[in-house]
Amino acid sequence: MSNSKALSEAVLENGQPAVVEKTMMKDFLALIKVGIVNSNAMTTFTGLWLALHFSGARFLDNIDLILATLIGSSLIVAGSCSLNNYIDRDIDHLMERTKDRPTVTGRVQPGKVALMSFLLIGIGTAFLLTTTVTAAVIGLFGVFSYVVLYTLWSKRQYVSNTIVGSISGAVPPLIGWAAVDANLDIMAWMLFAIVFVWQPPHFYALAMRRVEEYRAAGIPMLPVVKGFKATKKSIYMWVAALFPLPFFLQELGISFMVLATILNIGWLVLGIYLEKLKDDMKWAKLMFVYSLQYLTVMFVAMVIVTLI
C-alpha cells in the first residue's frame, strides 16, 4: 500500500496530469487578472466593514452576507477582466506585458473565455442579489463601465480612456457598502471618490513605463499622445485632487485624516524630489510603486481606526 501510494504521488508530482493542472490554474488566474480581483476585494471589504461599523451591526452576525458580497464582487470582477482579455486578444500580442496571455498564445479558445466570463458575471450577480438589489445593480454597472465604456468604447479611441476606466475601478467599495446599507451614505461616495481619483496617477505612471508598447498597440494613452511632461503634470494634478477627500471622512477620526494627509503630501513630494534624477522611467516606476502602497495603506487604515 505504501509503495503504491508513493508511486501515485510521484506521478502527480512529476507526471503530465500535474503539469496540465498547474498550467490550467495559471491560465485561469491570468485570464481573470487575479491581482486586480484581489485589490478590488480589499476595497469592497473596506466599504462593507465601514457600513457594518457605522450601522452598529456585528461582524460575526453577518458572516453569510460578508461572504456573499466578497464572493459575488470578486466573481463579477473576474468575469469582467476575462471578458477584457477576450476583447483585447487582437492587440495584446503587441505588448510585452500581455503577449503571454492565454487568449494570445492560443492555450484557451476564445469562445470558452467568453462563456466563462458571462458565467462568472452571472454567478457573481446572483451572490450579490442575496445581499441587496442595489449591490447587484452597482456590480452590473461596474461590469458595463469596464467592458463597454472602457474596453469597447474609449480605450482605443480617446486619451481620456484612463479616466473612463477609473469609474469601474471605483465601484467595489460602493458594492460593499450597498450590500449592508442600500441607502448609500456620503462616506460610501467618498470611498468611491478616493479610488476614482487615485487611478489616473496610478495608471499614468504605468503607461509611462509601457509607453512604447501602448504606442505599438495603437492605444492613445496620455504619454503616447501628449508626452511625459504633460503626463507628469496630470499626475501631480490628480494627486493634488486627493488632498481634500480625507476631510469628508471625519467619522474615522483625526488619526486617519492625519495619516491620509501625510500619504497625499508624500506622494506629491516624492514626485518633485524624483525630478532631480532626470530619469523619466525611474520616476514613473517609483511613483507607480508608491501608488500601490498608498491604496493598501489607506484602505487598511480605514479598518484599523475603527478597531482602536
pLDDT digits (tens, 9 = 90+) for 186-208: 999 999 999 999 999 999 999 99
Encode pLDDT of 109-147 as tens digits: 999 999 999 999 999 999 999 999 999 999 999 999 999
Are residues 180 and 191 both part of a single domain?
A: no
**Cα–Cα distance, 40 to 198 (Å, whole number):** 13
1 pLDDT higher than 70? no
Are residues 177 and 32 both part of a single domain?
A: yes
Secondary structure in 3-state letters for 288-304: HHHHHHHHHHHHHHHHH
User: What is the pLDDT confidence band of residue 22, given thresholds at 50, 70 and 90?
Assistant: low
Are residues 117 and 206 both part of a single domain?
A: no
**Cα–Cα distance, 88 to 155 (Å, whole number):** 10
Cell representation of residue 183: 441607502
**Cα–Cα distance, 149 to 146 (Å, whole number):** 6
Are residues 268 and 305 both part of a single domain?
A: yes
| Domain count along the chain | 2
Domain range for residue 106?
A: 19-184
**Cα–Cα distance, 6 to 162 (Å, whole number):** 53
Q: Which of these three, 184, 200, 226, is where a domain ends?
A: 184
108: helix, coil or strand? coil
Q: Which of these three, 132, 154, 184, is where a domain ends?
A: 184
Q: pTM, whole model, 2 decimals?
A: 0.92
161 pLDDT higher than 60? yes
Q: Which of these three, 184, 212, 233, is where a domain ends?
A: 184
5 pLDDT higher than 50? no
Q: Which long-range contacts (CB under 8 A, 24 or more apart) does 217-222 make?
A: 217/91, 217/92, 217/94, 217/95, 218/91, 218/156, 219/91, 219/155, 219/156, 219/161, 220/156, 220/157, 220/158, 220/159, 220/161, 221/159, 221/161, 221/162, 222/159, 222/162
Instruction: Tell me the CATH number at 152.
Output: 1.10.357.140
The pLDDT assigned to 15 comes to 52
